[in-house]
A and B are shown apart, each in its own frame.
Chain A
Amino acid sequence: MWIFGSRAWYKFSRNPLSVVGLGIVVVIVLAAAFAPFVTPYPQHARAFVDFANASLAPSSTYLLGTDVIGRDVLTRIIFGYRVSLMLGVVVLTIAVPIGVGLGLLAGYFGTRTETVIMRITDVFLAIPPLVLALAIMGFLEPTLMNAMIAVAAMWWPWYTRLVYNITRSLRHEGYVIAAEVVGASHLHMLLREILPNALPSILTKMTLDLGFVILIASSLSFLGLGVQPPTPDLGSMVAKGADYLPDIWWFPVFPGLAILVIVLGFNLLGDGLRDMLDVDF
């Protein structure tokens, strides 16, 4: 394939950890996409009870054991990845355009626009992220949709801050001023001159963040404020399993490791992209 011969791939693969990250992400995404076909017991993904096989330790039949009502832990982890990935993508799809848009406006127009937008951003950043998401969940019904809204509401300020800094430094670049001098509209300046140059940083941050969004969302469901049963979710599996320590240790430990692995994957992949795209933040 052409990509493996390219210069970008060379830069990316110079650090073997980046390739490991890419591998982790690809395997998880494929497994999650084809979950009904690759999991050993797809029917265990929903409400399902099999007390005869409850709380079984890992074995060749149940690779990661079964939970206290007899569902295969591995199956539920893979279906849990499905929910997590969807959630991560939706959250960033909401948060990134808002954050990027506000950052562009603040950095480009300056003066009063800048003051208002950046002060609001400061207010959001003054509340610890998880606490803000929890507070929002406090006034909403705990559903998957609301969890996504709560996490997106705390996520956009980071993009505002990032894009604001980039825009401010690009504002006085020669090509931007040249476009301004020939009479380009504000819209052209923002979308055609400045935004394309901010994209590498935004894309890298999005890759890193996909992991961290999943981490925060799993924290919400760990506290019972996110995805609700019987939908499989890594955070709620850990919470439920923690009640059965130490005897049924595989019930909380493997979903916990599963969170670690997916966040690690996106983190390593993001670092690789950072090297490849030569961005720095």
Chain B
Amino acid sequence: MSFGSFVIRRLGASLIVLVGVSILIFGIARVIPGDPARIALGPTATPEMVEQLRDRLHLNESLPIQYWEFVKGVGGGDLGISLYTNRAVTTDLAQFFAATFELVLVAAFLMVVIGVPLGVLAARYRDGPIDNLARIISLLGVVTPSFVWAIFLMLLFAFLLGILPTAGRLSESAVVPASVTGMMLIDSILAGEWATLWNAAIHIILPATALSLSGIGQAARLTRANVAEAYSSQYIEMARAYAYSERSIAMKYALRPAMIPTLTILGLDFAAMLGNAFLVEAVFAWPGMARYGVQTILHKDINGIVGTVLVIATFFLIVNMIIDVVVSYLNPRIRLAARA
């Protein structure tokens, strides 16, 4: 299979899954017993108010027609009106998405720049102190909920040491840069506001670390396993026989093949991070999509919930598709095997 047709096939598969996701989330919202309009308006609403809202949400139509209305809306970039903020769900999500995106990106970055070298060192010095440290970090990373990490980190760095802030994206005194990407770090660079850049950086470091710890553990564990396997391979024995330096063997022959499975895990970890963002944003009062999502859930805001889940699932599918394409580009065996 050529690279181009692999990409097209992968795109098609993602689209099918996305349609499935929209049916699933739509189904959950409509099939679960109880009247969403009644739940959203609360027990004090009059029957007329409930009836009006049912009309507005197309709840009096048959399910397929409701789904069709919903798909038409989504196709036109309309996710309905949030019952919680009374604004278009798309407007709300556009406002909150960037903050979550920035947080997840920084967390993914930390996961790669800390997890991968840790795994390489652990494999290089097997059963030594670094290996044991990596083991402990992997284990603790996997078994500790990210909201618990968030609280531990906040207690240590914000309260005990007092070197990092506890909440938000910027201090009140900071100059807010013009919003271009919605991501504070990038916007402040574009605006040339270096003080704001620093301020945004010290605000994001704790939530991003809390979010990335389980990923760091997994990346380290996986990298270690793959690098260790590479070290026992014949091509490394060969390189040793040619008296290549240990350094160039590590960088050139051991790390490179180990990167591919790590990339795949990174894609899966995006799912975990997007979910855990709900918890971390809650602890650090991070004004992101996850916090908005929790509010829509608490307010039984049917359009808000459906919109948030749809955007998160789309984001997740896109990231995984990109990673699959990159991996198949790096390792042609994968797309050749896909033919079977």
Contact = CB atoms under 8 A, between A and B. Distances in A.
B189 interface: no
A138 interface: yes
A129 B154 contact: no
Interface stretch (B67-75, B107-115, B229-237, B274-282): B274-282
B181 interface: no
Nearest to A134: B297
Residue in A119, A127, A263 whose Cβ sees the most chain B Cβ within 10 Å: A127
Nearest to A268: B139
A68 to B, nearest CB: 16
A249 interface: yes
B294 A260 contact: no
Interface stretch (A1-9, A179-187, A214-222, A273-281): A214-222
Residue in A123, A218, A260, A264 whose Cβ sees the most chain B Cβ within 10 Å: A123
A62 interface: no
Contacts of B142: 267
Interface of A: 119-120, 122-124, 126-132, 134-140, 211, 215, 218-219, 222-225, 235, 238-239, 242, 245-246, 249, 252-253, 256-257, 259-260, 263-264, 267
Given A135-B297, A136-B28, A128 B16 contact: no
A130 B280 CA distance: 13
B153 to A, nearest CB: 11
A140 B159 contact: no
B140 interface: yes
Interface stretch (B17-25, B241-249, B251-259, B331-339): B17-25
B178 interface: no
A256 B152 contact: yes
B305 interface: yes
Interface in B133-183: 139-140, 142-145, 147-148, 151-152, 154-155, 159-160
Nearest to A124: B24
A256 B148 CA distance: 5
B271 interface: yes
Contact of A219 (B21, B39, B145, B152): B145
B28 A139 contact: yes
A21 to B, nearest CB: 11
Contacts of B154: 245
A175 B205 CA distance: 57
Contacts of A260: 140, 143-145, 148
Contacts of B312: 127-128, 131
Nearest to B272: A128
Contact of B20 (A120, A140, A259): A120
Contact of B282 (A119, A223, A252, A253): A223
Contacts of A256: 145, 147-148, 151-152
A249 B160 CA distance: 11
27 contacts: A122-B17, A123-B20, A123-B21, A126-B316, A126-B317, A127-B24, A128-B275, A129-B275, A130-B275, A130-B278, A131-B274, A134-B278, A134-B293, A135-B297, A138-B305, A139-B302, A222-B279, A225-B294, A225-B297, A239-B147, A245-B154, A256-B152, A260-B148, A263-B144, A264-B143, A267-B142, A267-B143
A31 B309 CA distance: 39
B13 to A, nearest CB: 8
Contact of A242 (B16, B151, B313): B151
